[in-house]
Amino acid sequence: MKNSNPKYIAISNSILITFISLASIGILLYTEPTYGIWVIIPIIILQFFLIFWIFYYSLRKFIYEKIRIIYKNIHNFKVNKEHFSQKLYSDNELFEKVNEEVLKWAVDKKMEIETLKKLEQFRREFLGNVSHELKTPITNIQGYVLTLLEGGIYDNEINKKYLDRAEKNITRMIEIVNDLEEISKLETGELKLHHSKFDIVQLTKEVIEILEFKKNEANVEISFAQPYSQIFIVADRENIKKVLTNLIENSIKYSKPLTGKTKISFLDMDEYILTEITDNGIGIEEINIPRLFERFYRVDKARTRQTGGSGLGLAIVKHIIEAHYQTINVRSTIGIGSTFAFTLKKGM
């Protein structure tokens, strides 16, 4: 097998040239001793340049062939193993091309690493949030049950009260698990949407009726921006009902105490219907808006936990709207209120 290592090629060729040169010098000195040093010096110089050129050529050829292999691997990796072009490049062109490819590959890998770091941070935050959200009701339930087991079950003043509190914490845990399952299905595409044409005004009225008790308890007034007749859209009715329920319920939770107002409006945008839900509540700081739809992200953690909820409502809303290939956005001013707006395809 022929050895392509430039070291062996250069050494073998150098030995061969040296042997030939020394033999030639010996023959010349033997046949023509009068030539002396004037013959030997040019031959030695020629020998040096020949050895240098052979070594340079061998090394460059070796590097060129290896770089071609590296370039092919990088190029094939970049185009996801698509057919590699058989175009041949000159030495300089190939080195420049490889340099460009390696630099681009390095930039892409750096971005990929940064993305993985962000995902890892998100994963840690998410697991921490899930752990915290489940730990709180579990701890509460444990406390209530232990109190009952230690004799509280026979005390009529606390037994029913503690059982009611334990039941509320169990309900909260079920809500968290159900919401996590729903988000997972939305993200993986397992939850199939069933589109139909329906009246969103009528659906909104149904949601308001469902939330009537919470509305009255918080003394919040819910109204339409104007009298609407029928406005038809094409979407998944049950999932849009969840969107409206989450947004209107949030407007009730964060409205001003005793003077809360929620206004619902529908705007015709040619092919789409824009739905806006506006409250006169505490508002949201601008710094919090970009993260508002993240799972478990809370603007006011203390107040949010007091008002209940899994902390996943807005994340579910965002996923449902995006599953319809539409968008949702927020406008808010501290002390004035917030407006959540989303679009849906109009029913023609």
Q: What tens digit of pLDDT does each residue of 153-181 get?
A: 888 888 888 898 888 888 888 877 887 77
**Which of the pair, 271 or 63, is modelled with greater confidence?**
271
For the chain, what is the mean pLDDT?
A: 76
Q: What is the model's pLDDT at position 37?
A: 56
**Which of the pair, 303 or 220, is modelled with greater confidence?**
220
Q: What is the model's pLDDT at position 305?
A: 47
Tens-place pLDDT, residues 233-246? 999 999 999 999 99
CA distances from 77 to 83, 99, 102, 169 (A): 11, 15, 11, 52
CA angle 276, 282, 286 (to 5 degrees): 75
Q: What percent of the chain has pLDDT over 90?
A: 22
Tens-place pLDDT, residues 286-297? 888 887 887 766
CA distances from 102 to 98, 105, 108 (A): 6, 5, 10
Lowest mean pLDDT among 125-139, 193-207, 209-223: 125-139
Q: What is the model's pLDDT at position 236?
A: 93
Gap between the Cα atoms of 251 and 262, Å rounded: 6
For the packed helices 313-323 and 159-188, what is the interaxial angle rounded to 10 degrees?
30
* Nearest alpha carbon to residue 58 among 1, 11, 10: 10
CA distances from 327 to 40, 249, 274, 276 (A): 87, 20, 10, 12
Buried b (16+ CB within 10 A) or exposed e, 171-186: ebbebbeebbebbeeb
Alpha helices in 79-158 (DSSP H): 91-149
Q: What is the model's pLDDT at position 204?
A: 95
Gap between the Cα atoms of 140 and 165, Å rounded: 8
Lowest mean pLDDT among 103-112, 208-217, 275-284: 103-112
Q: What is the model's pLDDT at position 272?
A: 93
Mean pLDDT of 188-202: 87
User: Which DSSP symbol is given to 154?
Assistant: G
CA angle 316, 265, 339 (to 5 degrees): 55
Gap between the Cα atoms of 235 and 320, Å rounded: 10
Read off the tokens for 125. Answer: 């935050």
Q: What is the model's pLDDT at position 86?
A: 46
Gap between the Cα atoms of 180 and 167, Å rounded: 20
Q: What percent of the chain has pLDDT over 70?
A: 63
Read off the tokens for 344. Answer: 């849906």
**3-state SS class at 3:** coil
In the numeric block, the tokens 């150098």 are attached to: 14
